[in-house]
Amino acid sequence: MADLLLILLSAALVNNFVLVQFLGLCPFVGTSARFETTVPMTLATMFVLAVAAVATNLLHHHLLAPFGLEYLRIIAFIVVIAACVQFTELFVRAASPLLHRMLGLYLPLITTNCAVLGVVLIAVDEGLSLARTLVLAIGAGAGFGVAIVAFAALRERINDDAVPAPLRGVPLALVTVGFMALAFHGLRGIGAGMGA
């Protein structure tokens, strides 16, 4: 139980997938311009992450590995992730057309959210059990949520400030993320102490 908690905290904070491992930056920058879209985006991503992580774990251990087909894993995993995203998109479109329009291109692009494939590949590379894989996926989603909600709030403030024209928008956003990453970097000291 304790090690599951460690995996969760490590994935969400210490080794934050966005700020420390550079995974999932496109939706992070793309959907953080407005505060309202961040929470739905996080939930959609976390849902896809969890389902895809469980599905790929089963696929890898019960189909690919027994037949020595590990080299096909990129293709197999991306198909599983795409199916999960398609399902999520259908659900969001039916549940809230407005939300579907707000998320726009970024919803189908969860397929190409490298955080999803990254988490899945890391879980398989490290030979994590099914429970640990699921916890890692949820932690990664939570970390994405923490980072994007904080960042969107900062970004709305920055939008109202007078800044040099070339820096306006994404360049200043990236610099801001840099300072957030610095803050998260401070957590690594704690992580080392926890053996994470």
Partner 1 sequence: MSAFGEAALRRNPAWVQLLGLCPLLAVSNTVANAAGLAVASAVVLTGSAFFIASVRRWIPADVRLPCFVLVIATFTTLVHLAMEAYAFELHQRIALFVQIVVTNCMILGQVERVAAKVRVGRALVDALGASAGFAAAILAVGAVREVIAVGFPLAAMPAGAFVIAGLLLALANALAARDWRFVPRRSSARRSPETPLERQ
- Inter-residue contact 91 to 108 (CB < 8 Å): no
Nearer to partner 1, 121 or 150 (CB): 121
The footprint of partner 1 on residues 160-179 (CB under 8 A) is: 160-179
CA 89 to chain centre: 17
- Least spacing, CB of residue 87 vs partner 1, in Å: 13
Angle made by CA atoms 29, 30, 33, in degrees to the nearest 5:
85
129 lies in the binding site for partner 1 (CB under 8 A): no
Distances (CA, A) of 179 to 20, 98, 169, 173, 185: 12, 33, 16, 10, 10
Q: Pick from 4, 6, 43, 109 the residue near partner 1 by CB under 8 A.
A: 109
What backbone torsions phi and psi does residue 23 show, to the nearest 5 degrees?
Answer: -115, 140
Q: How far apart are CA 154 and CA 161, in angstroms?
A: 11
- Pick from 8, 9, 14, 24: which binds partner 1 (CB under 8 A)? 24
101: contact with partner 1 by CB under 8 A: no
How far out from the chain centre does Cα 153 lie? 18
Which letter does DSSP use for residue 176 in this model? H
CB of 105 to partner 1, least distance (A): 9
Region from 3-11, 45-53, 114-122, 129-137 binding partner 1, contact rule CB under 8 A? 114-122
CA atoms within 13 A on the CB side of 1: 0
Q: In the complex with partner 1, which residue's Cβ is closer, 25 or 43?
A: 25
4 or 169, CB closer to partner 1? 169
38-67 binders of partner 1 (CB under 8 A): none
**Binding residues for partner 1, per CB under 8 A?**
19-26, 29-30, 33-35, 71-72, 74-75, 78-79, 82, 86, 108-109, 111-114, 116-118, 121-122, 125, 156, 159-179, 181-182, 185
